[in-house]
């Protein structure tokens, strides 16, 4: 995929990260997983985001994972590189490295360590960041996930950055799960790729011009999301599935279902401070999934 501006962004799997028993990234399993989700309809994968435990990975680990994926024949342009850094020099260096690796798009979160920072302070950080990486030619997807970062990327901030960096700002990933915010983004920025992080809102978003999703569910059921992009009839199981995931720590829950469907239990491992689901949680979640999808449709 070359992210043709004339085509919808589509579905990007917010890649989960598999670990070996020694706690290292399992490159073989990761590569197989990437090939699987792409073969099942994902347009791209996003490396090192929230679902991928990105803040728990070193930049060296992310680069090694990127190299393993491309060495297996996956074009670098299919890999969106997530930048989740508060230190501006680190964010700049990591973005430049992503460009050197061949990625054309980054998912850029705001600096998040200091809480209660005014929008103006965030804008100063973003403007310095974007100015520094402008020569790379990278396209930037702004990342709004305030329930994790406590640092919202508001529609007004998007407008300011889009005005100042029109050739760089290409989209927003809205993972807040608040329809009012998603709707405002869709209406104010029809020329940006508005990407839905909460799969329960994807159908409504697509109906208003949403370009796709960077999705955790795409790790194990991308077909549910590609059907929405194709504007097939709504499947109420999507909402039920996301609600079931939200009963648990989300990233370990997504990994549990990847392992359940792939019959590969090493997926259940998470890196501290996250922990895998308990056996009781795993049994309850997988039973819920099996019951939900016991028949083709409900």
What are the binding residues for pyruvate?
51, 214
C-beta of residue 110 within 8 angstroms of C-beta of residue 133? no
What are the binding residues?
51, 214
Question: What is the pLDDT at residue 2?
Answer: 45
Helix (H) or strand (E) holding 263: none
Quote the CA–CA distance of 77 and 103 in Å, as a whole number: 5
Q: What are phi and psi of 11, to 5 degrees?
A: -105, 125
Classify residue 254: in a domain, yes or no: no
Classify residue 266: in a domain, yes or no: no
Tell me whether residue 4 is exposed, middle or buried, using C-beta atoms within 10 angstroms of its C-beta: 0 to 12, 13 to 18, 19 or more: exposed
pLDDT by 10-residue block (mean), the chain, 298 residues: 67 98 97 98 98 98 99 98 98 99 98 91 97 98 94 97 98 97 98 97 96 98 97 93 98 98 95 97 98 73
DSSP 191-226: TSEEEESSGGGHHHHHHTT--EEEESGGGT-HHHHH
Neighbour tally for 180: CB within 10 Å: 8
What does each C-alpha distance from 202 to 141, 186, 219 come to in angstroms? 17, 12, 16
- Catalytic status, residue 289: no
> 53: domain range?
10-232
Classify residue 224: in a domain, yes or no: yes
Q: Check the CA dihedral 118-126-55-210 and report its sign.
A: positive
Neighbour tally for 128: CB within 10 Å: 13
Question: What is the pLDDT at residue 8?
Answer: 81
From the centroid of its chain, how far is CA 217?
10
DSSP 53-92: TGGGS-HHHHHHHHHHHHHTT--GGGEEEEE--SSHHHHH
Quote the CA–CA distance of 30 and 298 in Å, as a whole number: 32
- Catalytic status, residue 40: no
Q: Into how many domains does the chain fold?
A: 1
Classify residue 112: in a domain, yes or no: yes
Q: What are phi and psi of 80, to 5 degrees?
A: -80, 125
Considering the candidates 62, 78, 143, 255, report the single residue annotated as catalytic. 143
Classify residue 36: in a domain, yes or no: yes
Considering the candidates 162, 173, 255, 289, report the single residue annotated as catalytic. 173
Quote the CA–CA distance of 186 and 54 in Å, as a whole number: 27
Classify residue 30: in a domain, yes or no: yes
pTM of the predicted protein model = 0.95
Question: What is the pLDDT at residue 3?
Answer: 55
Classify residue 62: in a domain, yes or no: yes
Quote the CA–CA distance of 56 and 100 in Å, as a whole number: 22
Question: What is the pLDDT at residue 19?
Answer: 98
Q: Which residues contact 230 (CB under 8 A, 6 or more apart)?
A: none
Quote the tokens at residue 69.
Answer: 């994926």
Classify residue 252: in a domain, yes or no: no
Question: What is the pLDDT at residue 45?
Answer: 99
- We report the CATH number of the domain holding residue 173 as 3.20.20.70
Quote the CA–CA distance of 272 and 294 in Å, as a whole number: 34
């Amino acid at each position: 995929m070359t992210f043709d501006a004339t085509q919808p962004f589509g579905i990007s799997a917010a890649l989960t990260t598999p670990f070996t028993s020694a706690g290292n990234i399992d490159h073989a399993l990761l590569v197989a997983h990437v090939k699987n989700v792409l073969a099942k309809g994902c347009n791209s994968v996003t490396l090192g985001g929230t679902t991928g435990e990105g803040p728990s990975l070193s930049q060296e680990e992310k680069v090694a994972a990127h190299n393993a994926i491309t060495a297996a024949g996956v074009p670098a342009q299919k890999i969106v590189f997530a930048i989740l850094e508060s230190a501006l020099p680190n964010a700049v260096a990591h973005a430049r490295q992503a460009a050197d690796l061949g990625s054309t798009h980054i998912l850029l979160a705001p600096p998040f360590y200091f809480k209660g920072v005014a929008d103006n302070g965030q804008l100063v950080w973003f403007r310095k960041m974007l100015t520094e990486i402008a020569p790379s030619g990278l396209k930037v997807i702004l990342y709004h996930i305030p329930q994790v970062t406590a640092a919202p990327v508001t529609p007004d901030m998007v407008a300011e950055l889009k005005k100042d960096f029109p050739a760089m700002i290409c989209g927003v990933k809205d993972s807040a799960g608040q329809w009012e915010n998603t709707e405002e983004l869709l209406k104010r920025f029809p020329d940006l790729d508005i990407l839905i992080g909460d799969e329960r809102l994807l159908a409504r978003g697509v109906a208003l011009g949403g370009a796709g999703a960077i999705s955790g569910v795409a790790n194990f059921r991308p077909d549910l999301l590609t059907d929405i992009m194709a504007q097939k009839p709504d499947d109420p199981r999507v909402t039920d599935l996301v609600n079931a995931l939200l009963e648990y720590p989300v990233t370990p829950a997504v990994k549990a279902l990847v392992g359940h469907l792939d019959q590969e239990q090493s997926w259940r491992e998470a890196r501290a401070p996250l922990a895998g689901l308990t056996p009781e949680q795993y049994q309850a979640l997988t039973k819920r999934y099996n019951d939900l999808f016991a028949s083709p449709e409900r």
